[in-house]
Amino acid sequence: MTVKNAHHPAFTAIRSEFVEALNVTVQEYEHKVTGAKHFHIASENDENVFLVGLKTVPTDSTGVAHILEHSVLCGSERFPVRDPFFMMIRRSLNTFMNAFTSSDWTAYPFASKNKKDFRNLLDVYLDAVFFSRLDPLDFSQEGHRLEFAEPTNPDSELTYKGVVFNEMKGAMSSTTSVLWQAVTKYLFPSNTYHFNSGGEPTDIPDLSYDELMAFYRKHYHPSNAVFMTFGDIPADELQEEFEAKVLSRFERLDDKDQVSVPNAKRYFSPLRVEEGYAAEEAKENASHVVVGWLLGESIDLAQQFEASLLSSVLLDNSASPLRRVLENSELGSSPSPLCGLEDSNKEMSFMCGLEGVKREDTTNVEALVLSTLEDIVENGVEQDMVDAMLHQLELSQREIGGDSYPYGLQLILGALSTAVHSGDVIAQLDLDPVIEQMREKVTDKDYIPTLVKRLLLDNAHRITLTLSPDEALEARRNQAEKDRLSAIKAGLSEEQTQYIIERSQALKARQEQVDDMSILPKVGMEDVPAALPEYEHEAIDAALPVSFYPQGTNGLVYQQLVVDLPKLTEDETNVLPLYSSLMTELGVGEDDYLAIQSRQAQVCGGLGAHSSIRPEIIDKQRVSGYFVLSSKALVPNTAAMTKLMVDTFQSVRFDEVGRIKELIAQRRARRERSVTGQGHALAMSAATSGMSGLAAQQEAWGGMTGIRNLIEMDDALKADPAAVTALCQTLKTIHEKLQQCAKRVLLVAEPHHKETLLEAIRPAWASIENHEQLTAFALPAVDNTVKQAWVTATQVSFCAKAFKAVAGEHPDVAPLTVLGGFLRNGYLHRAIREQGGAYGGGATFDGSAGAFRFYSYRDPRLLETLADFDASIEWLLSNEHTEDALEEAVLGVIGSMDKPGSPAGEAQGDYFLQLHGRTKAYREAFRAGILAVTIEDLQRVAKLYLTKENENTAVVTASANKTMLTDAGFDICTL
């Protein structure tokens, strides 16, 4: 790859290195005046990425860094509009836009494939970060404020409002978040990691606007910043923008003003602590016990990779010695969600433990962990396990991602902590030398035992935390907030009362003002790519038909066995996702699951299985379905990977009863923990569940109903041996049916490997018998009305409404798709987030269910939000709207449709779209329909489909709202 090495005169070039494993050149520069660092990852990839990261070091839990991250994006010197961040989302073809607050840094990243769009966003981001207006009203909206329940009535109840305040109420309703904050509070007794950088809801109201401004002035300075970029725009062009727009206006900070993170004071003996978490019921075996150690510095690459290798050897899979002991222990239901190494902070930490523990078993869990580590020191670990972990490290180093975050952003985020803490970024990205050094070190059989002894057993800075359920905690917390507000209200002077009322009115007026958006840059319809990309592929005749997609995969091969789903009974259908998840976690043939877990780690990046089910275009009540077994490997391991896949598909064991029960218990724990993190998706799933057979089944699999079903199954398996026998028989029956179905293989790799790969896979797949299609998978038609309220332990609510509409090739699908963004941009964002205080809200069209859905996320309100959904429809129908607003909504849809994935992900996506009948011609026709939508179309489909007769509603909320919801006609549901 030829890379332009020129740089702007305001910068000094430090070094430049080509990283062969990533096929990129990493360039390091320093701004001469301010000392700001710029790391550019030069690539032929046209998805360019920008991030500016700042070291932000809170000294309390008021959430100052988090609230500042929100407020910074609310208007700046050159773009003095109220909400440039969300406005630019609408005026852009970005592939990613966001901002992050971590424990000790704040980052502002974006990505785009369109060069004009990239420069537009760069303009806005640079100005927002370094020249933010930070209006006090924005602090009130995004952070916290006092407001009367009836804003102009001082006799009504006084409340706290604020987006971050409610976001963190939602975040801290998650037991995993509470567990993490509790562990780090004690692991780091004396530095910034001791505090909740997101903000504790009890502490957020203590933050003043003046403190926010002081934090901004200290931390948001180029001397405290690192610029990181990726893509095919040369470094000097980017630096020209940095210099002209920002850096030329700053001087270097004095050393005494530099932001730093001191190391934590070390303990001289281990510590045991106990805290509580809010729960609906204080069950006997619902405690979490975590043992945690403070390790060395993450910017020391040798220390980081020693710790990383040790963590992988101990915990990577079920055959790893520490995970094996934790999974098989009767002391808890499953390993803790915190198991592993945390290396994003300046100082690393290692944690492990169990959840589902009896409170009195804390010392037993601690003893189990320590005795396991002592056994490793005494007896060592198998060399195959250590080699396998190095193999996994090499595989992950070479893989080109991009399906969740843009690939360039993944690389940048992986190096960001090192950059912020002045470590060696190039070494962090070029892991091949480290891997080679590790290969040499691990030839010493005592290497891993020595690491265990030095980093863990001889390390006195250790804590053991017990986090136990407290069914009264939520009530006490709510009462404390009410008492605090009552005391504040009782002490208000007449002037203070008037100030609260006037600020509420001023904020409302600011939220409703119409800004001159023309001052913001934008892309238009003329910038939309003319057509969808074409993915070259080849059909190859073999024992099983092979579809080969040539893609730039950097030495990896991706392989999938695709099997037609047969007709299943209701019981079999209900456990189909469980069958998929268990298949790759059990033994095969004569080998038990431990041997197979080791084999997977040695030859590939693991095995995965899932079902791909979509409605047919002509009828949403009819579906097409496929079972998919997938893996990835380095090209030389293709034959071994394929043999493993074949063996697993032919001979997986459903007789490992203990393992099956253990995996279901782990699955239950994960799903129960997920509620407060994905409550909006769960509410939408429930609201949509009456609209088709697939929607109903998806709710039964993955919605709140699915979580309840899983809890009931887990309880039954623990209580009744007959239930275990019946489940194992059902799993075996599904497996036998799949053997009798039609099969095919998908292969994705670099084109020059094709013949080698085909030669490697043919012998293994030839051993599998192919069949003509049996009776195809089907689901019963469903058409019901839903009005459900799911109550659980949460401090905030998640609301959803879904309206029955059309699907497939119907011409109204295009305007319904555009309508979601139009309502969000024009009404819902302001009403639900800015005025209502929810962390998020909007609307979207679900084409698979033929459902138009409204949602809110981490919402302090409930019935009022549902009313706002209706009000947005009235707003649409009773007002005139601009063509600019329509264009923004259309661009949003096109941007999401055109968002790139990883090379392998894009090929796999194209393959399954074709398999389900979504041909390129079909997708291009839909794209043309999106581009042709008019405002009249939006109003017409809203009037036609968004009616009371088509309405379904679901919420996920706190138990305290039961009476109100019952009175409103909701069916109350519990897990």
Model confidence at 51: pLDDT above 60: yes
Read off the pLDDT of each residue in 242-252 and give the average, rounded to a whole number.
Answer: 97
Do β-strands 743-749 and 546-550 pair in parallel, antiparallel, or remain unpaired? parallel
Query: Average pLDDT for residues 687-711, to the nearest whole number?
Result: 97
pLDDT at 786: 97
Backbone angles phi, psi at 108, to 5 degrees: -125, 95
Q: For the whole model, what pTM was predicted?
A: 0.94
pLDDT at 4: 66
Quick one: 570 exposed, middle or buried, by C-beta within 10 A (0-12, 13-18, 19+)? exposed
Q: pLDDT (tens digit, 9 = 90+) per residue, 857-908?
A: 999 999 999 999 999 999 999 999 999 999 999 999 999 998 999 999 999 9
Residue pair 18/31 in contact by the 8 Å Cβ criterion: no
Q: Give 2's pLDDT tier (boundaries 50, 70, 90).
A: low
Instruction: Decide: helix, strand or coil at residue 647.
Output: helix
- Rounded to an integer, what distance in angstroms lies between the CA atom of residue 290 and that of residue 295? 16
Sequence-ordered strand ranges (E) for 77-231: 96-97, 100-101, 105-112, 145-148, 158-161, 225-231
Please say whether the beta carbons of 148 and 504 come within 8 A: yes
Q: Return the pLDDT at 655.
A: 95
What is the structure's pLDDT at 255?
Answer: 73
pLDDT digits (tens, 9 = 90+) for 474-531: 999 999 999 999 999 999 999 999 999 999 999 999 999 888 888 999 999 899 887 8
Please report which confidence band the pLDDT of residue 583 belongs to, taking 50, 70 and 90 as the band edges: very high
Q: What is the mean pLDDT of residues 347-366?
A: 97
Neighbour count for residue 770 (Cβ, 10 Å):
15
Band (397; pLDDT cuts 50, 70, 90): confident
Measured from the Cβ of residue 250, the count of other Cβ atoms closer than 10 Å reads 17
Q: What is the pLDDT of residues 920-970, one digit of tens each?
A: 999 999 999 999 999 999 999 999 999 999 999 999 999 999 999 999 999
Each residue of 169-214: pLDDT tens digit? 999 999 999 999 999 999 999 999 999 999 999 999 999 999 999 9
Q: If you ran DSSP here, which 8-state letter would residue 561 be given?
A: E
Interval 429-476: pLDDT, tens: 998 898 899 999 999 999 999 999 999 999 999 999 999 999 999 999
Q: pLDDT band at residue 1, thresholds of 50, 70 and 90?
A: low
Give the single-character DSSP code of 588: B
Burial of 912 (0-12, 13-18, 19+ CB in 10 A): middle
CA distance 742 to 747: 17
What is the predicted pLDDT for the residue at 280?
Answer: 86
Tokens for 523, please give them.
């892309």
The counts of H helices and E strands in the chain are 35, 28
Q: What is the pLDDT of residue 21?
A: 87
Query: How far apart are the C-alpha atoms of 69 and 83, rounded to whole Å?
Result: 13
* Contact by Cβ (8 Å): 225, 218: no
Backbone φ/ψ region at 23: left (φ over 0), alpha (ψ -120 to 50), beta = left
- The strand pairing partners of 468, in sequence order, are 276
Higher pLDDT, 831 or 514: 831
Domains of the chain listed by start with CATH number: 11-260 (3.30.830.10), 271-402+414-470 (3.30.830.10), 538-766 (3.30.830.10), 787-974 (3.30.830.10)
Mean pLDDT to the nearest integer, 138-166: 95
Distance (Å, whole) CA 739 – CA 723: 25
pLDDT of residue 257: 63
Distance, in Å, from the CA atom of 418 to the CA atom of 613, rounded to the nearest integer, reads 42
According to the 3-state scheme, what is the secondary structure of 518-542?
Answer: HHCCCCCHHHCCCCCCCCCCEEECC
Six-digit token string for 520? 């913001």
Q: Token match 């090499």: residue?
A: 394
Give start and end residues of each alpha helix (H) in 203-336.
209-219, 235-245, 301-315, 321-328
d(CA 104, CA 346): 8
In this predicted structure, the answer to whether residue 773 has a pLDDT above a threshold of 80 is no
Question: What is the average per-residue pLDDT within 565-580?
Answer: 97
Angle at which helices 321-328 and 657-673 cross, to 10°: 90
Query: Which residues are CB-neighbours of 707 under 8 A, at least 6 positions away?
Result: 671, 672, 674, 675, 975
Average pLDDT over residues 536-551: 94
Cα dihedral sign, 248-249-255-258: negative
Please state, in angstroms and rounded to a whole number, the distance separating the CA atoms of residues 969 and 975.
19
Tell me what pLDDT residue 553 has: 94
Count CA atoms within 13 Å of residue 324 on its CB side: 16
Q: Where are the alpha helices (DSSP H) in 279-361?
A: 301-315, 321-328
